Amino acid sequence: MTSSRTPDAAALARRVLQLIDLTSLNDGDDEAAIGTLVGSANTPLGRPAALCIYARLIGAARGALAAQGFSLPIATVTNFPSGAPLPDAAARETAEAVALGADEVDVVLPYRALIEGDALIARELVAQCRAAAGRRCLKVILETGELRETHLIRQASEIAIEGGADFIKTSTGKVAVNATLEAAEVMLDTIRQAGRPVGFKAAGGIRTVDDAAAYLALAQRICGEGWATPATFRFGASGLLGNLLASAGHVDGDRPSPSY
């Protein structure tokens, strides 16, 4: 069932959907929850950029995708959500995620160590995880709501980019302050100056089309019109999906809980 909506609203919703890493990172996630997540990804507007789930459920996601007759890249998280200052452990976890079939890995930077002035441990962790991920897409989560200060957000962005990150990502979605436009502006400006292609991912608390549109407008202003594609820009979200469908005039069905 649909209702009358403007073509512009539907087009925006479709564009945003194609940029989503549809996410479920709840402690109680199981095969049934992942099956529901996979089913929700096949929408009247199209499909998201990827699924983002815990590594232990990658096999279940592959099975559910095969059963439902379509495929999507699968992302997972490592050193999550703690951002522990343990490069060897983070690299092992990243390698294990790749062995389990992850196409993309989102690893948490040791942000507390960086706040305390230890940039070397952050550099080492990114470098080791880059090597462990191999050719897989590596996104580095900065946890900007905890870094807070502009100079720390920029420093974390630079460390991640210099270490070989394919994307830099705002947040785990597990702290009090997650994605903000202020942090995104610093990150996008650092990407603009990077001298090589690097993507941006906004995660945590992005729940409406209007929220998403504000980030897209910011990316366009800083990085140029047409820059934001699935290869360069992602939203980490679950609750956003229902709002996208509603904004395009589609009845919202059984969607993942808005916990990210």
Look at residues 189, 193, 200 and name the one whose alpha carbon lies nearest to residue 232: 200
- Beta pairing partners, 23: 52
Q: What is the 3-state secondary structure (H, E, C) of 186-244?
A: HHHHHHHCCCCCCEEEEECCCCCHHHHHHHHHHHHHHHCCCCCCCCCEEEEECCHHHHH
Look at residues 119, 130, 54, 118 and name the one whose alpha carbon lies nearest to residue 91: 130
Question: Taking a C-beta distance cutoff of 8 angstroms, is the pair 85, 128 a contact?
Answer: no
The sign of the torsion formed by the CA atoms of 187, 202, 13, 34 equals positive
Positions marked active-site: 106, 169, 201
